Amino acid sequence: MKKIGMVSLGCPKNTVDTERVLGDLVSSGFSLTQNEEDADVIIVNTCGFIESAKKESIDTILEMARHKTEGKCKQLVVTGCLAERYGQELLDEIPEIDHLLGVGQYPQLKNIIDDTSALSKNHVATPAEFYESYTDRLLSTAFYTAYLKISEGCSNRCAFCIIPKMRGPMRSRSPESILAEAESLARKGVKEFNLISQDTTMYGFDLGMKDGLVRLLKEMVKVDGLEWIRLLYCYPTFLNSEMIELIASEPKICRYIDVPLQHTHDEMLKRMKRQETEGGVRKMLDEVRQKIPNVALRTTFITGFPGETETHFQHTVRFLCEMEFDHVGIFTYSDEEGTTAFDYPDRVAQEVKEERRDILMGFQKDIALRKNQERVGRVEPVLVEGFDPQENYLMTGRLTSQAPDIDGQVILEKCEAEPGEIISVRINQAADYDLVAEPIQTTVSP
């Protein structure tokens, strides 16, 4: 029996792909190992979104390639976004790669690992075979939380983004397959689902569904054992009144919305080929805050997009300070070949991009601290996660307003609850991004 080691890089959508591959391999009779030195086959699921991700992927491939000479590894398989984008280049430059597959060939992995003769050194270009059923997923997250991918690909054409060319147009999974996966994971103890896709609010459009995400969520909240549903990657143009009202009225849907904006000035939004305008965004945010009290809003911005002037940037600064988002990610523009923006003139110097990023994050740090201080004294539910890996004596957890891996956490004092429990806590202290709290009762949920 071959032992499989797998390294997953990139975003949560890649994580789900990796988990589905691992489940497929285990159900096909392969065994898994977390120690690459013991692996007969090593799979690297790569990310190719921006330059830093590409570098990390290449460095990881080269590191894993060492195990072909220093360890037991007989096959090195590279898959994912970088493989889709630079297949032949990777094969030419890294001869240690035995098999290379794009994002549409994940279901073929188990056959390729078994048949080493026919496909060695080939970039597999057969028709895409996306997984429809995800019930065999092998979770790499903690047992109580999972990402739930509801669609593949993207039909937007943002000027800075290569995703549509790597993963194709948006294809929604059927509601039946999503609900089956949710029920399967809930039976295994998952309490928190984080919904992900390239454009979550567009779910169902390609299936001819009106308000597809609303309809899906109304069925998901009926799943026994499921307690929190959090919405990530919500394109602002399609965050409509029906969706906002459902979040406001349904207790199982976290009052948390991740709505990437990327910029705020209409001239820059047009250059980015975004569908929204500043006026539309403001109207949407006003409606969200009016209808969903205490909602947590997360967004992202890009600094240094080609043509961004100081006037454009200061516009974003004012917008950020006025809107006071709970969580913000700031990225410097990455020049990616194959995107519309790759050929744009009026480049912004790297040091200017970084300076603008740091300025925005400085303002956001003050906003986040102030908003955290407003929580002191409140009683809120917390999902207990266990001991902090950096500080083994500290228990930690997350509020409904804190998504895993990207937002802050709650440090729990005098806590004897088990990981996976949802308990009520009183918030006693606030830091820039984290909170300190103590339990006021044993559990909120079984």
CATH number (domain holding residue 331): 3.80.30.20
Residues 391 and 355 reside in one and the same domain? no
Contacts of 186 (CB under 8 A, 6+ apart): 223, 224, 225, 226
Same domain membership, residue 423 and residue 327? no
The pTM is what?
A: 0.91
Which residue range forms the structural domain that includes residue 397? Answer: 379-439
Contact by Cβ (8 Å): 276, 320:
no
pLDDT score recorded for residue 117: 57
Encode pLDDT of 266-317 as tens digits. Answer: 999 999 999 999 999 999 999 999 999 999 999 999 999 999 999 999 999 9
The answer to whether residues 191 and 246 belong to one domain is yes
For the cut 80, the answer to whether the pLDDT of residue 8 exceeds it is yes
Exposure of 390 by Cβ count < 10 A (0-12 exposed, 13-18 middle, 19+ buried)?
A: exposed
57 and 114 in a common domain = yes
Tens digits of residue pLDDT in 149-201: 999 989 999 999 999 988 889 999 999 999 999 999 999 999 999 999 999 99
CB atoms closer than 10 angstroms to residue 247: 22
149/99 same-domain check: no
> Per residue in 14-47, is it b (16+ CB within 10 Å) or e — as a string?
bbbbbbbbbbbbeeeebeebeebeebbbbbbbbb
> What pLDDT, on the 0 to 100 scale, is given for residue 44?
96
Helices first, then strands: H and E counts in the chain: 14, 19
133 within a domain of the structure (yes/no): no
Confidence category of residue 416, pLDDT binned at 50, 70, 90: confident
Tell me, yes or no, whether 163 and 250 share the same domain: yes
* Per-residue pLDDT tens over the stretch 133-150: 667 889 999 999 999 999
